Amino acid sequence: MKRMQYSQKKFVQQGKLFKIFWRALLAAALVVSVKYILHRLNWEPIQQSSLHNSVISSVTFVIGFLLSATIADYKESERIPAEFAAQLEDMYDDAAQIHASYPVFDLEGFRKQLRLVALGFTEDVRKKSYDARKDIRGLGPYFAEMERGKVPPNFIVKLKQQQSILLRARHRVNYIQRIKFIPSATILSRSIVAALIVLLMMTNIDPFFASLAVVGLITFVLVYMLILIHVISKPFHKAGKTRDDVSLFLINDAAEYLKKPLARKQEKTSK
Protein backbone atom coordinates (compact mmCIF):
# COMPACT_ATOMS: atom_id res chain seq x y z
CA MET A 1 0.00 0.00 0.00
CA LYS A 2 2.81 2.41 0.94
CA ARG A 3 4.68 1.49 -2.23
CA MET A 4 1.57 2.27 -4.29
CA GLN A 5 1.11 5.63 -2.56
CA TYR A 6 4.78 6.45 -3.15
CA SER A 7 4.43 5.56 -6.83
CA GLN A 8 1.33 7.73 -7.16
CA LYS A 9 3.07 10.64 -5.42
CA LYS A 10 6.12 10.27 -7.67
CA PHE A 11 3.87 10.16 -10.75
CA VAL A 12 2.14 13.39 -9.67
CA GLN A 13 5.51 15.08 -9.10
CA GLN A 14 6.76 14.00 -12.51
CA GLY A 15 3.53 15.29 -14.05
CA LYS A 16 4.09 18.71 -12.48
CA LEU A 17 7.74 18.69 -13.59
CA PHE A 18 6.78 18.07 -17.26
CA LYS A 19 3.59 20.15 -17.16
CA ILE A 20 4.95 22.89 -19.43
CA PHE A 21 6.52 20.28 -21.73
CA TRP A 22 3.24 18.44 -22.31
CA ARG A 23 1.26 21.64 -22.86
CA ALA A 24 3.78 22.87 -25.43
CA LEU A 25 3.87 19.46 -27.09
CA LEU A 26 0.06 19.43 -27.33
CA ALA A 27 0.09 22.88 -28.96
CA ALA A 28 2.74 21.73 -31.45
CA ALA A 29 0.69 18.61 -32.28
CA LEU A 30 -2.43 20.71 -32.91
CA VAL A 31 -0.53 23.07 -35.20
CA VAL A 32 0.99 20.17 -37.15
CA SER A 33 -2.46 18.57 -37.53
CA VAL A 34 -4.00 21.81 -38.80
CA LYS A 35 -1.15 22.33 -41.26
CA TYR A 36 -1.57 18.80 -42.59
CA ILE A 37 -5.29 19.43 -43.14
CA LEU A 38 -4.59 22.75 -44.87
CA HIS A 39 -2.07 21.05 -47.13
CA ARG A 40 -4.54 18.36 -48.10
CA LEU A 41 -7.10 21.07 -48.92
CA ASN A 42 -4.51 23.10 -50.89
CA TRP A 43 -5.02 26.09 -48.59
CA GLU A 44 -1.39 27.19 -48.49
CA PRO A 45 -1.40 30.37 -50.58
CA ILE A 46 1.89 31.80 -49.24
CA GLN A 47 5.16 30.78 -50.87
CA GLN A 48 8.31 30.36 -48.81
CA SER A 49 10.85 33.19 -49.06
CA SER A 50 13.81 34.66 -47.20
CA LEU A 51 11.39 36.88 -45.26
CA HIS A 52 10.26 33.85 -43.28
CA ASN A 53 13.73 33.47 -41.74
CA SER A 54 13.73 37.15 -40.78
CA VAL A 55 10.30 36.88 -39.16
CA ILE A 56 11.28 33.79 -37.18
CA SER A 57 14.50 35.45 -35.99
CA SER A 58 12.64 38.60 -34.94
CA VAL A 59 10.01 36.69 -32.98
CA THR A 60 12.68 34.59 -31.25
CA PHE A 61 14.59 37.75 -30.31
CA VAL A 62 11.52 39.36 -28.72
CA ILE A 63 10.64 36.21 -26.77
CA GLY A 64 14.25 35.78 -25.64
CA PHE A 65 14.38 39.39 -24.44
CA LEU A 66 11.19 38.99 -22.43
CA LEU A 67 12.37 35.70 -20.96
CA SER A 68 15.75 37.11 -19.89
CA ALA A 69 14.07 40.09 -18.19
CA THR A 70 11.61 37.83 -16.36
CA ILE A 71 14.37 35.47 -15.22
CA ALA A 72 16.18 38.44 -13.65
CA ASP A 73 13.25 39.00 -11.27
CA TYR A 74 13.01 35.25 -10.67
CA LYS A 75 16.69 35.03 -9.69
CA GLU A 76 16.23 37.96 -7.32
CA SER A 77 13.27 36.18 -5.75
CA GLU A 78 15.49 33.13 -5.18
CA ARG A 79 17.93 35.22 -3.14
CA ILE A 80 15.32 36.88 -0.93
CA PRO A 81 14.31 33.85 1.22
CA ALA A 82 17.94 33.18 2.18
CA GLU A 83 18.56 36.81 3.08
CA PHE A 84 15.26 37.06 4.95
CA ALA A 85 15.96 33.91 7.00
CA ALA A 86 19.50 35.07 7.80
CA GLN A 87 18.20 38.44 9.01
CA LEU A 88 15.66 36.78 11.32
CA GLU A 89 18.20 34.48 12.95
CA ASP A 90 20.78 37.27 13.22
CA MET A 91 18.24 39.58 14.89
CA TYR A 92 17.41 36.96 17.49
CA ASP A 93 21.08 36.20 18.19
CA ASP A 94 21.81 39.92 18.59
CA ALA A 95 18.79 40.41 20.85
CA ALA A 96 19.85 37.46 23.03
CA GLN A 97 23.32 38.96 23.46
CA ILE A 98 21.85 42.36 24.30
CA HIS A 99 19.46 40.78 26.80
CA ALA A 100 22.37 39.09 28.56
CA SER A 101 23.78 42.54 29.46
CA TYR A 102 20.56 44.57 29.49
CA PRO A 103 17.61 42.37 30.60
CA VAL A 104 15.16 45.23 30.21
CA PHE A 105 12.93 43.84 27.45
CA ASP A 106 10.90 40.71 26.82
CA LEU A 107 13.29 38.45 24.90
CA GLU A 108 10.77 35.61 24.82
CA GLY A 109 8.15 37.87 23.24
CA PHE A 110 10.74 39.15 20.78
CA ARG A 111 11.55 35.58 19.74
CA LYS A 112 7.89 34.73 19.27
CA GLN A 113 7.36 37.86 17.19
CA LEU A 114 10.31 36.97 14.94
CA ARG A 115 8.86 33.50 14.44
CA LEU A 116 5.52 35.08 13.60
CA VAL A 117 7.33 37.20 11.00
CA ALA A 118 8.83 34.05 9.44
CA LEU A 119 5.49 32.24 9.31
CA GLY A 120 3.70 35.37 8.13
CA PHE A 121 6.16 35.91 5.29
CA THR A 122 5.47 32.46 3.84
CA GLU A 123 1.74 33.23 3.98
CA ASP A 124 2.14 36.70 2.51
CA VAL A 125 4.11 35.65 -0.58
CA ARG A 126 1.50 33.03 -1.50
CA LYS A 127 -1.74 34.73 -0.42
CA LYS A 128 -2.87 38.25 -1.20
CA SER A 129 -5.12 38.22 1.86
CA TYR A 130 -2.21 38.19 4.34
CA ASP A 131 -0.04 41.23 5.08
CA ALA A 132 3.32 40.50 6.75
CA ARG A 133 3.96 44.21 7.33
CA LYS A 134 1.98 44.02 10.57
CA ASP A 135 4.18 41.20 11.84
CA ILE A 136 7.39 43.02 10.95
CA ARG A 137 6.24 46.29 12.48
CA GLY A 138 5.19 44.33 15.56
CA LEU A 139 8.88 44.37 16.52
CA GLY A 140 8.64 48.11 17.25
CA PRO A 141 7.35 47.85 20.86
CA TYR A 142 10.39 45.74 21.81
CA PHE A 143 12.72 48.43 20.47
CA ALA A 144 10.81 50.95 22.58
CA GLU A 145 11.40 48.76 25.65
CA MET A 146 15.10 48.73 24.88
CA GLU A 147 15.18 52.50 24.61
CA ARG A 148 13.41 52.90 27.94
CA GLY A 149 15.84 50.40 29.48
CA LYS A 150 18.87 52.49 28.40
CA VAL A 151 20.19 49.94 25.90
CA PRO A 152 23.03 51.60 23.89
CA PRO A 153 21.53 53.31 20.81
CA ASN A 154 23.90 51.62 18.37
CA PHE A 155 22.48 48.20 19.35
CA ILE A 156 18.93 49.39 18.77
CA VAL A 157 19.82 51.10 15.49
CA LYS A 158 21.26 47.86 14.13
CA LEU A 159 18.08 45.95 14.97
CA LYS A 160 15.94 48.67 13.39
CA GLN A 161 18.05 48.53 10.23
CA GLN A 162 17.50 44.78 10.08
CA GLN A 163 13.77 45.38 10.53
CA SER A 164 13.88 47.77 7.59
CA ILE A 165 15.63 45.12 5.46
CA LEU A 166 12.88 42.62 6.31
CA LEU A 167 10.22 45.14 5.31
CA ARG A 168 12.04 45.95 2.06
CA ALA A 169 12.28 42.25 1.17
CA ARG A 170 8.56 41.83 1.83
CA HIS A 171 7.69 44.77 -0.41
CA ARG A 172 9.99 43.59 -3.19
CA VAL A 173 8.54 40.08 -3.26
CA ASN A 174 5.01 41.48 -3.15
CA TYR A 175 5.78 43.72 -6.13
CA ILE A 176 7.29 40.88 -8.19
CA GLN A 177 4.31 38.66 -7.38
CA ARG A 178 1.65 41.13 -8.49
CA ILE A 179 3.24 43.20 -11.26
CA LYS A 180 4.02 41.70 -14.65
CA PHE A 181 7.12 42.85 -16.51
CA ILE A 182 5.94 45.31 -19.20
CA PRO A 183 2.40 43.94 -19.82
CA SER A 184 2.39 45.47 -23.31
CA ALA A 185 5.47 43.42 -24.19
CA THR A 186 3.69 40.28 -23.02
CA ILE A 187 0.74 41.06 -25.29
CA LEU A 188 3.14 41.74 -28.16
CA SER A 189 4.98 38.44 -27.65
CA ARG A 190 1.79 36.40 -27.65
CA SER A 191 0.48 38.23 -30.70
CA ILE A 192 3.60 37.76 -32.82
CA VAL A 193 3.91 34.09 -31.84
CA ALA A 194 0.31 33.49 -32.90
CA ALA A 195 0.87 35.43 -36.13
CA LEU A 196 4.06 33.47 -36.89
CA ILE A 197 2.33 30.12 -36.32
CA VAL A 198 -0.53 31.11 -38.64
CA LEU A 199 2.02 32.27 -41.23
CA LEU A 200 3.85 28.93 -41.10
CA MET A 201 0.60 26.98 -41.40
CA MET A 202 -0.41 29.00 -44.48
CA THR A 203 3.01 28.71 -46.14
CA ASN A 204 3.73 26.09 -48.79
CA ILE A 205 7.08 24.58 -47.76
CA ASP A 206 8.84 21.78 -49.63
CA PRO A 207 9.48 19.01 -48.85
CA PHE A 208 6.16 18.84 -47.02
CA PHE A 209 6.81 16.22 -44.33
CA ALA A 210 10.09 17.85 -43.38
CA SER A 211 8.22 21.16 -43.08
CA LEU A 212 5.77 19.53 -40.66
CA ALA A 213 8.67 18.63 -38.36
CA VAL A 214 10.15 22.13 -38.59
CA VAL A 215 6.84 23.87 -37.96
CA GLY A 216 6.14 21.57 -35.02
CA LEU A 217 9.57 22.22 -33.52
CA ILE A 218 9.28 26.00 -33.89
CA THR A 219 5.80 25.95 -32.37
CA PHE A 220 6.95 23.78 -29.48
CA VAL A 221 9.89 26.05 -28.60
CA LEU A 222 7.94 29.31 -28.82
CA VAL A 223 4.90 28.05 -26.91
CA TYR A 224 7.15 26.51 -24.27
CA MET A 225 8.92 29.85 -23.79
CA LEU A 226 5.62 31.72 -23.51
CA ILE A 227 4.29 29.34 -20.87
CA LEU A 228 7.60 29.47 -19.00
CA ILE A 229 7.50 33.27 -18.94
CA HIS A 230 3.96 33.15 -17.56
CA VAL A 231 4.93 30.68 -14.82
CA ILE A 232 8.15 32.32 -13.59
CA SER A 233 6.67 35.83 -13.71
CA LYS A 234 5.00 34.78 -10.44
CA PRO A 235 7.82 33.05 -8.50
CA PHE A 236 5.64 32.00 -5.53
CA HIS A 237 2.50 29.96 -6.17
CA LYS A 238 0.32 27.99 -3.78
CA ALA A 239 2.26 25.14 -2.21
CA GLY A 240 2.53 22.18 -4.59
CA LYS A 241 1.01 23.92 -7.60
CA THR A 242 4.18 23.93 -9.71
CA ARG A 243 7.72 22.57 -9.47
CA ASP A 244 9.13 25.88 -10.74
CA ASP A 245 8.34 27.78 -7.53
CA VAL A 246 11.02 29.49 -5.48
CA SER A 247 11.47 27.34 -2.39
CA LEU A 248 10.75 28.77 1.06
CA PHE A 249 12.41 25.97 3.02
CA LEU A 250 15.01 28.38 4.45
CA ILE A 251 12.23 30.53 5.93
CA ASN A 252 10.72 27.41 7.46
CA ASP A 253 14.14 26.49 8.84
CA ALA A 254 14.38 29.93 10.44
CA ALA A 255 10.92 29.51 11.95
CA GLU A 256 12.03 26.16 13.38
CA TYR A 257 15.20 27.79 14.75
CA LEU A 258 13.05 30.42 16.48
CA LYS A 259 10.69 27.84 17.90
CA LYS A 260 12.67 27.42 21.12
CA PRO A 261 14.69 29.88 23.23
CA LEU A 262 18.38 30.13 22.46
CA ALA A 263 19.42 29.08 25.97
CA ARG A 264 17.69 25.70 25.61
CA LYS A 265 19.39 25.13 22.27
CA GLN A 266 22.79 25.81 23.77
CA GLU A 267 22.09 23.43 26.66
CA LYS A 268 20.99 20.73 24.23
CA THR A 269 24.13 21.25 22.14
CA SER A 270 26.45 21.08 25.15
CA LYS A 271 24.87 17.81 26.25
Q: What range defines the domain where residue 246 resides? A: 51-202+226-270
Residue 40, in any domain of the structure: no
> What is the total count of domains within the chain?
1
Phi, psi of 21 (to 5 degrees): -60, -50
Residue 47 has pLDDT above 90, yes or no: no
Residue 111, in any domain of the structure: yes
Buried b (16+ CB within 10 A) or exposed e, 115-134: bbbbbbbbebbbeeeeebee
pLDDT value for 127: 77
pLDDT value for 244: 73
| Helix, strand, coil share of the chain (percent; to 5) | 80, 0, 20
Alpha helices in 102-152 (DSSP H): 107-126, 133-137, 140-148
| Digit-coded pLDDT (tens) for 214-229 | 999 999 999 999 999 9
- The half-sphere exposure of 36 on its side-chain side, counting CA atoms within 13 A, is 12
Residue 4, in any domain of the structure: no
Least confident of 29-43, 71-85, 162-176, 238-252: 238-252
Residue 258, in any domain of the structure: yes
Residue 185, in any domain of the structure: yes
Q: pLDDT above 90 covers what percent of the chain? A: 51
Buried b (16+ CB within 10 A) or exposed e, 179-209: eeeeeebbeebeebbeebbeebbebebeeee
Task: Please name every residue paired with 75 in a beta bridge, in sequence order, or none if there are none.
Answer: none
Q: Are 250 and 82 in contact (CB under 8 A)?
A: yes
Q: Are 225 and 67 in contact (CB under 8 A)?
A: yes
Judge residue 263's burial from the number of C-beta atoms within 10 Å of its C-beta, 0-12 exposed, 13-18 middle, 19 or more buried: exposed
Residue 166, in any domain of the structure: yes
Residue 164, in any domain of the structure: yes
CB atoms within 10 A of CB 53: 10
Residue 19, in any domain of the structure: no
| Calpha distance 185→67 (Å, rounded) | 11
| Digit-coded pLDDT (tens) for 6-37 | 344 443 444 466 788 999 999 999 999 999 99
pLDDT value for 264: 55
pLDDT value for 17: 64
| Digit-coded pLDDT (tens) for 103-112 | 999 999 999 9
| Digit-coded pLDDT (tens) for 144-200 | 999 999 999 999 999 999 999 999 999 999 888 887 777 888 888 999 999 999 999
Q: pLDDT above 70 covers what percent of the chain? A: 88
First-to-last CA distance in the chain? 40
Whole-number average pLDDT of the chain: 85
